[in-house]
Amino acid sequence: MATKKTTEHGGDGAFQVAGIVLRDDPIVYLAAIGGRWLLDHSTPSWRALDPQNGFQRIVKEQRAKEIARTVLDTHRTFPNAITLATKAKTFEVTGCNLHLPHNAKFLVVDGQHRLWAQKYSSVDGTYPCIIHMNRTEQQMAE
């Protein structure tokens, strides 16, 4: 995977990030995604709001602020990936670049506190992400 932060917008409105295919069937990508973009294109599944199907804890604001202060504000890198799921079947891959459509939507399966920390920092973090393709919320909860 490329080591530079790639966050360019393609001519088709796609957001280009460093990324590779980890698995072909089912498709799983590994990507480095900017925090602000990811916040705008993701949602959690709150267990408290839907005890049967939700699987994320409600974000504790203080914990997210602490992560922002100790990781993002000090320009550190997160040591582990955020797990995401999307209903999209595939994304375009060119070399070591993944092209995320402007209308891409992700479900945060794991890592909601790390991602929500972005709301409390002026530093746009780079988030390592594992992206599971062609998955419903229910499939990811099982």
- What is the per-residue pLDDT for 43? 82
pLDDT digits (tens, 9 = 90+) for 25-70: 999 999 999 999 999 999 876 444 454 444 456 788 999 999 999 9
- What is the per-residue pLDDT for 55? 45
Domain residue extents for the chain: 38-84+112-142
**What integer is the mean pLDDT of 10-22?**
85
Q: Which residues 6+ apart lie within 8 Å of 73 measured at CB?
A: 121, 122, 123
| pTM, entire model | 0.82
Burial string for 112-122 (b: 16+ CB within 10 Å, else e) reads: bbbbbbbeebe
Mean pLDDT, rounded, of the chain: 85
